[in-house]
Amino acid sequence: MAHNRILFGYVFLGGVLGTMLRYLLFELIATLAEYPTYELIALFVVNLLGAFFLGVTARYPYFQLETCRNLWGIGFAGAFTTMSAVTLFIDFEGFGIEIALMLLLGFLLYWAGFTIGRRAAKRAN
């Protein structure tokens, strides 16, 4: 039971860090573009970076440790990405080419990160 609480703490800490970084990136991008353009740009940047990072955490040996997976893969990546914002954007604006492009690029970046992690795992063995 205590072990589960510790793992939950790692998820919580990762969630705090992921949320903070997402907020900082949104604020930085807001200084570079006008509303609502900056929101779409920030959504692209955060989700594509998050997809790549999540792909890396899926196979990279360091992230296979239970504490690291909970901190970075579940907590950080889960809080950093904003797929709920994508669904909200679709609800308000409709499913446009920009959302389709973001989902396609997200898949490709996840695959790239997964491939990097898999290669690192092969080298470690």
Q: 4-27 pLDDT, tens per residue?
A: 899 999 999 999 999 999 999 999
Using only C-alpha atoms, the chain has a radius of gyration, in whole angstroms, of 16
Q: 35-94 pLDDT, tens per residue?
A: 878 888 888 899 999 999 999 999 999 999 999 999 999 999 999 987 677 777 777 777
- The backbone region for 94, taken as left when phi is positive above 0, alpha when psi lies in -120 to 50, beta otherwise, is left
Beta carbons of 109 and 52 less than 8 angstroms apart: yes
Q: 89-105 pLDDT, tens per residue?
A: 777 777 878 888 888 99
The whole model's pTM is what? 0.84
Cα dihedral sign, 60-62-66-72 = negative
